[in-house]
Structure 1
Amino acid sequence: FIDGIFASLSEWTKSNLPQGAFTNLIAEGVIPGLGGIVIFIPQIAFLFLFISVLEESGYMSRVVFLMDRIMRRFGLSGKSVVPLISGTACAIPAIMATRNIESWKERLITILVTPFTTCSARLPVYLIIIALVIPEGRFIGLSYQALTLMLLYLIGFGAAIVSAYILNKILKIKSKTFFVIEMPNYKLPLLKNVVYTVIEKTKSFVFGAGKIILAISIILWFLASYGPGEDFNNAEAIVTEQVKNESITDKELQQKIASYKLEHSFIGITGRAIEPTIRPLGYDWKIGIALVSSFAAREVFVGTLATIYSVGSDEEETIKNRMAGEVNPILGGPLFNFASGISLLLFYAFAMQCMSTLAIVKKETNSWKWPMLQLVIMSGFAYLVALIAYQILS
């Protein structure tokens, strides 16, 4: 719903403002950037609403107490349960929920491992890749595709727990704490307290991480909208000349022009530049562009491939058919086969492909050190796992 509002606002801006770079900046950079902030508000508000209700009612204290002994074996607190579970919806409000953890070391470890849990933004990538590469069939009554999706969720939780254990051994932060928690009587939550908590924590996100998200969105828009050289500047003339003997509609022509410009934009050149690096994973430069652009948000992966493949609709089936027809330029055969598909699934399972999460980690830790370490280590580990998977399966 929120996506639709901002998409309509972008279209209205393009239609009613004079054509030019400023209008494109507003319609394709600023408005989507604001949308990238606002779209998280309902998730954040609902999460803190439920957390506040559980805390006010006295139930949360009992859950935390029961889980504390188990979680401490991995360097976490019983209070880490809430962020890890809520991370399956979105890592941003989950990381904000770590504020209830008193020990800085336990809170930092929880912040660093929460992005491993499978958030809702990974689902569009998982669903389309699973539909492409996992065969139909059943095992003990469950389809292979459903089992694959469930396994990805379990891998995410497993990675978070193992990472927490390793970080607990590595981080030399003196933080000796005793688990003391009040066990209040069960009671009805006070509406005033609940509303105040929701408003304050939501406002903190909008005015804190929101500024960083907006800035990075504008930078990514610039990289995708501009490019060097004649190929980008004369894209319309070049594509028109290439298809002059073909009978295509004006809409299809515009799609081909958009695809050509994206290929020769700064972000497209980046995709070409990183192709030698990602080729051992079974990816081509088009997937490379999708990987780079999906740093804004993981779900952008599908939309980027739809654009570069000149698909006019973002319906999953249309994109799936187009992706299924892609040929590996080096080996021949389908580009999206079992080996490259599993490699891609594992890459997205472990990689830090979310600038919004990095922004909120920076805000919560008050330093760029931890989000940068998180980005490098998670992405490096994702690359290594994807490389091993592809080389074994291919």
Structure 2
Amino acid sequence: NAKDLRMKFDRIITHKIWGYAIFFVILLTIFQAIYDWSSVPMDFIDSAFASFSEWTKNQLPSGAFTNLLAEGIIPGLGGIIIFIPQIAFLFLFISVLEESGYMSRVVFLMDRIMRRFGLSGKSIVPLISGTACAIPAIMATRNIENWKERLITILVTPFITCSARLPVYLIIISLVIPEGRFIGLGYQALTLMFLYLIGFGAAVLSAYILNRVLKIKSKTFFVVEMPNYKLPLLKNVTLTVLEKTKSFVFGAGKIILAISIVLWFLASYGPGDNFNHAETIIKTEYASQRLSEEDINQHIASYKLEHSYIGITGRAIEPAIRPLGYDWKIGIAIVSSFAAREVFVGTLATIYSVGNDDEATIKNRMSAEVNPILGGPLFNFASGISLLLFYAFAMQCMST
């Protein structure tokens, strides 16, 4: 009967070996699907925003307001909206697992591991919720009765990769990790999964250290109700995906809109003669070279950006980050992302758009950046991996 069948499934899914193997395979499938299914809509959104920015610049009267729209607001928002497909797919899979009853088995399964690190199965729910946002995940710890476990869970939850980090991971992975496959699994999907595992590993290791530091002995008992297996309801899954995706877009959008306006102003204006007479300086410097008008304009835009307010600020902090292989533009993006991690992508999209009249996508502009010292790509394997690891461990979200 149905009860016996459920018990057979439970014995397999919660098995001390096969249970973890099944969970690992499910994770691999999810991350591979996120990449395979979202590539087409992401390319479309990226091209659409590049075209929309170019169309805005051509259709509206030239001036500061048009430049603000075409070079600041549109690229900044586009740098986040492009990741809606992958974020929506991630929430879709999590919702399906919860609706089907499988996630309750995962909680029971992970309780065996969590107890060794000072946590319990109840900590899994906040940690899983942390893949969306650490703030509601921390609030969810109120269901943990033991105050020591609750405190440890609160402190380690920000290590879990949240949806705000996902855009940073995705854009950097697409630039520095090849698109090849290993046993049918994409290198990029494996890298993304590895970053999620790093965050979980850091959380568990920190929990172990905190459990040793807090010398308070307490016994807790973990009881979880195993719901029946069922097919996920399309209505519930759809509403969950829409709600979480909308929360991410509008939450990030407000911050990015404000920061994009500020960044555009700082990148479009500057003090002194170097900025105000950039056109004369560049034309005099390259007078002996037979450069096209397009090349001259590109040199002027680059020179003005370096001597703008944001360029001066960026070059002031550049000595501290140059040994890491970063330039001042990446430095500004890192500093601005202390407000919210996803601002990193929007900041670079705005900076790279200022003064550019071409219809290149965000990814193309980032891949074309050159390291002025080494002469190779700015976003190479070494600098890309260091950025990924920085954001895997850095918890610089102001609200968190």
Q: Structure 1 length normalisation: TM-score?
A: 0.65
1:348–1:223 distance in 2 versus 1, CA, 3 Å: farther
1:35–1:125 distance in 2 versus 1, CA, 3 Å: closer
Number of residue pairs the alignment of both structures matches? 331
Choose from 306, 309, 328 the match for 1:288.
328
Question: Distance in 1 between the 2:351 and 2:68 partners?
Answer: 22
- CA drift at 1:235: 1.6
Question: Distance in 1 between the 2:386 and 2:232 partners?
Answer: 42
The letter of the residue matching 1:63 is V
1:105–1:24 distance in 2 versus 1, CA, 3 Å: farther
Q: What is aligned with 1:63?
A: 106
The letter of the residue matching 2:333 is S
The letter of the residue matching 1:358 is C
Question: Distance in 1 between the 2:273 and 2:61 partners?
Answer: 25
Residue-by-residue CA offset, 1:95-145 (whole Å, 9 max, x unaligned): 4783765445355335311249985633554675679xxxxxxxxxxxxx9
CA contact 1:223–1:265 (8 Å) conserved in 2: yes
Where in structure 2 are the equivalents of 1:119-130 lying within 5 Å?
A: 119=166, 121-122=168-169, 124-125=171-172
Question: Distance in 2 between the 1:95 and 1:182 partners?
Answer: 25
Q: What is aligned with 1:349?
A: 389
Where in structure 2 are the equivalents of 1:5-84 lying within 5 Å?
A: 5-75=48-118, 78=121
Question: Distance in 2 between the 1:188 and 1:151 partners?
Answer: 26
- CA drift at 1:275: 3.0
The letter of the residue matching 1:262 is L
- CA drift at 1:217: 2.6
Question: Any unmatched runs of 5+ in structure 1?
Answer: 132-144, 329-333, 363-370, 372-394
**Given the alignment of the two structures, is residue 218 of structure 1 paired with residue 261 of structure 2, yes or no?**
yes
Choose from 308, 314, 333 the match for 1:271.
314
Q: What is aligned with 2:397?
A: 358
Q: What is aligned with 2:205?
A: 162
1:241–1:163 distance in 2 versus 1, CA, 3 Å: farther
Residue-by-residue CA offset, 1:242-279 (whole Å, 9 max, x unaligned): 11111112222222112112211222112221133235
Q: What is aligned with 1:139?
A: none
The letter of the residue matching 1:113 is F
- CA drift at 1:59: 0.9
Question: Distance in 2 between the 1:79 and 1:348 partners?
Answer: 29
Choose from 260, 264, 275 the match for 1:232.
275
The letter of the residue matching 2:332 is V
- Identity %, equivalent residues: 54
**Given the alignment of the two structures, is residue 261 of structure 1 paired with residue 304 of structure 2, yes or no?**
yes
- CA drift at 1:171: 8.6
Question: Distance in 2 between the 1:11 and 1:51 partners?
Answer: 37
TM-align CA RMSD:
4.7
CA contact 1:290–1:302 (8 Å) conserved in 2: yes
Question: Distance in 1 between the 2:255 and 2:56 partners?
Answer: 23
- CA drift at 1:70: 1.0
Question: Distance in 2 between the 1:215 and 1:304 partners?
Answer: 12
**Given the alignment of the two structures, is residue 108 of structure 1 paired with residue 154 of structure 2, yes or no?**
yes
CA contact 1:298–1:354 (8 Å) conserved in 2: no
- CA drift at 1:38: 2.9
The letter of the residue matching 2:397 is L
The letter of the residue matching 1:46 is F
1:96–1:20 distance in 2 versus 1, CA, 3 Å: same
CA contact 2:367–2:377 (8 Å) conserved in 1: no
Choose from 237, 244, 265 the match for 1:201.
244
Question: Distance in 2 between the 1:353 and 1:298 partners?
Answer: 15
Residue-by-residue CA offset, 1:348-384 (whole Å, 9 max, x unaligned): 41247999x826xx2xxxxxxxx4xxxxxxxxxxxxx
Question: Distance in 2 between the 1:28 and 1:247 partners?
Answer: 29
CA contact 1:220–1:293 (8 Å) conserved in 2: no
Could you say which structure has the greater relative contact order, defined with CA pairs below 8 angstroms and 6 or more residues apart? Answer: 2
CA contact 1:80–1:110 (8 Å) conserved in 2: no
CA contact 2:267–2:351 (8 Å) conserved in 1: no
Larger radius of gyration: 2
Residue-by-residue CA offset, 1:203-234 (whole Å, 9 max, x unaligned): 33334343223222322222222222121122
Question: Distance in 2 between the 1:181 and 1:189 partners?
Answer: 20
CA contact 2:72–2:260 (8 Å) conserved in 1: yes
CA contact 1:57–1:186 (8 Å) conserved in 2: yes
CA contact 1:82–1:97 (8 Å) conserved in 2: no
Question: Distance in 1 between the 2:79 and 2:297 partners?
Answer: 26
- CA drift at 1:9: 1.7
Q: What is aligned with 2:24?
A: none
SS in structure 1 of the partner of residue 67 of structure 2 = helix
Question: Distance in 2 between the 1:269 and 1:198 partners?
Answer: 42
Residue-by-residue CA offset, 1:170-209 (whole Å, 9 max, x unaligned): 7999x99753322011111222222222233333333434
Q: What is aligned with 1:378?
A: none
Question: Distance in 2 between the 1:201 and 1:344 partners?
Answer: 28
* Segment of structure 1 superposing worse, 7-16 or 221-230: 221-230
Question: Distance in 1 between the 2:174 and 2:236 partners?
Answer: 40
CA contact 1:116–1:349 (8 Å) conserved in 2: no
Q: Structure 2 length normalisation: TM-score?
A: 0.64
CA contact 1:76–1:109 (8 Å) conserved in 2: no
SS in structure 1 of the partner of residue 397 of structure 2 = helix
